[in-house]
Structure 1
Amino acid sequence: MEKSELLRKLSHGLIVSCQALPGEPLYRPQGGVMALMAKAACQAGAVGIRANGVQDIRDIMREVPLPVIGIIKKDYTGSSVYITPTLAEVDALVETGCDIIALDFTRSLRPHGESAKEFLEQVKRRYPHQPIMADCSSLQDALTAQSAGADFVGTTLNGYVRGDPPMAGPNFELVGRIAAQVQVPVIAEGRIQEPWQARRMLELGATAVVVGAAITRPLEIARHFVNEIRLPCGG
């Protein structure tokens, strides 16, 4: 899908992250469950899906007609980067035909020692027409991603990289600063728990908003309620 068409489809909309990791109740290596999550999101009016792993991405693409942002989470010894960390994962994602490939674009070095900028430039040389989303942690990440050829920048990794200040909720300030200083579309993501927070991100200039755990991770949703109920009652 052309970038202009992706922008038209995603603009001012909700992208639902449909992911389950090993050890979580909804994780199935054979797939199937996340495609149902994506179908529910589509019926609710979501404009896109973010998904992890070849099996789930292919299942979801068969089930719903929405643009899919694909990632592969994989740990490599010696590197903290785990979202689409090497060209091997990029190659696998290209094979799925997903509309956008997202990858870590933070100050952390890739498993083979490249910087985020060097890695993205490698990806763009190999796949010049593949839309790429840079999962950023800071304004500087987003500015560098733009210069390296990213088609979209996201705030996915803000608060999750060593040295970032811990954040309990969404980083509205960062999204506003990126939207004001970066010309490529901004996708707000990270700790968005309430509908009003998603709306605020769009008001600050985000093209679209990704919400995951608050919608598609029932274990986390249930824990949120349980922890609140267990708090001492006020008197």
Structure 2
Amino acid sequence: MNLTDLMATIHGGLIVSCQAGHEHPLRDTSTIRRLAEAAVAGGATAVRCGGVGGIADVRAVAAAVTVPVIGLTKRGTSGVFITPTVADALEVLAAGAAVVATDATTRPRPDGAGLRETVEAVHNAGGIVMADVSTVAEGVAAASAGADLVATTLSGYTPYSPQTAGPDLALVRHLAAELSTVPIVAEGRYHRFDHVREALEAGAAAVVVGTAITDPVWITRRFADATDRPAPVTTGH
């Protein structure tokens, strides 16, 4: 898939992130695959997956859905951990992802390579790169390095970016103004319908929603918090 075909598929649409952490009840590759299938049945134009499930999740989802897969790995818990190396990026692509999502912040990458090296390697292998950034400057630098799309995924997850409870719509707006030829993907804490509409109005080409769709623990907690009942007490056995 080339960038033109990708944008024809996702422009103005909803991308659903299907991921679950190590200790989450849904942490199972076959479950992630079914979440992805359900998301596509509901109208997702693409699926973002991988995370701690890594290559197994990417491979399973790519084999199961007909929409583009945005794949990633997560290694470690701090610093650059979203598809942090060139080798990781090529593994994600080989697993069937059309797009490789990778950290594009200014922090050093564990293999010592720059973003440009990752972009070149993915392009040479026929893939597309989504650069996950936290600031306007990082987005501009990612575009200069050849990234095909810039996503606001990491705003709030670096110490020097705004720490907001909701999505960083200002970053979407500023990136869209700065990078008129590079599609901007809004991602990060999009928890309400109006957030999605506002991001598209701010210039996003597409919006990624994860937790609010695919995390029943988070969803249930939101409803439970609206009741007067105390949280259940769990005991070990």
- State TM-score, norm by structure 1: 0.90
Partner of 2:223: 225
CA deviation string 1:168-214 (max 9, x = no partner): 00111110111111120000001000111101111111000000000
Q: Deviation above 6 Å: which 4+ runs of structure 1?
A: none
The equivalent of 1:144 in structure 2 is 141
From 198, 205, 208, the counterpart of 1:207: 205
2:172 pairs with one of 151, 161, 175: 175
1:175 and 1:127 map into 2 onto residues whose CA distance is: 25
Tell me the equivalent position of 1:102: 101
Which whole-Å deviations, capped at 9, do the CAs of 1:49-75 have from their partners, x for residues lacking one? Answer: 000121111111222101000000011
Name which of structure 1's ranges 141-150 and 125-134 shifts more when overlaid on structure 2: 125-134
Q: For 2:96 and 2:59, locate their aligned partners in 1 and report how far apart those are by CA, in whole Å.
A: 8
Offset at 1:33? 0.5
Residue type at the aligned position of 1:220: W
Q: Distance in 2 between matches of 1:194 and 1:125?
A: 36
State the Cα distance separating 1:107 from its structure 2 match: 1.9
3-state SS of paired residue (1:229): coil
State the Cα deviation string for residues 100-125 of structure 1 (Å, max 9, x = none). Answer: 000001122112345xxx2x211233
**AA matched with 2:175:** I
Equivalent residue number for residue 7 of structure 1:
7
- Write the distance in 1 (CA, Å) between the matches of 2:17 and 2:219: 14
Distance (Å, rounded) in 1 between the aligned partners of 2:222 and 2:22: 20
RMSD: 1.7
Residues of 2 paired with 1:137 and 1:180: CA distance? 16
Q: Please state whether the residue corresponding to 1:59 is helix, strand or coil.
A: helix
Residue in 2 that maps onto 1:60: 61
In structure 2, C-alpha distance between the alignment counterparts of 1:230 and 1:69, rounded to whole Å: 40
Matches of 2:229 and 2:193, distance apart in 1: 24
Displacement of 1:158 after TM fit? 0.2
Q: Which residue of 2 aligns with 1:70?
A: 71
List aligned pairs for 1:154-193, cutoff 5 A: 154-182=151-179, 183-193=181-191
- Number of matched pairs: 224
Aligned to 1:131: 128
Distance, in Å, in 2 between the alignment partners of 1:24 and 1:17 is: 15
**Local SS of the residue matching 2:87:** helix
Deviation string, structure 1 residues 106-156 (Cα, Å, up to 9, x no partner) = 122112345xxx2x2112332323210000001111100010000000000
**Map of 1:90 onto structure 2:** 89
- State the alpha-carbon separation in 2 of the partners of residues 50 and 134 from structure 1: 13
Q: Name the CA shift for 1:167/1:65 in 2 (closer, same or farther; >3 Å).
A: same
Please state how far the C-alpha of 1:231 moved relative to its aligned partner: 9.7
Q: Distance in 2 between matches of 1:85 and 1:131?
A: 16
Q: Is the 8 A contact 2:86 2:121 kept in 1?
A: no
Instruction: Report the 3-state secondary structure (helix = DSSP H, G, I; strand = E; otherwise coil) of the residue aligned with 1:127.
Output: helix
Return the alpha-carbon distance in structure 1 between the equivalents of residues 156 and 228 of structure 2. 27
**Gap runs ≥5 in structure 1:** none
Q: Distance in 2 between matches of 1:157 and 1:230?
A: 35
Distance 1:174 1:230, change over 3 A: farther
The code of the aligned residue for 1:63 comes to A
Q: What secondary structure sits across from 1:32 in the alignment?
A: helix
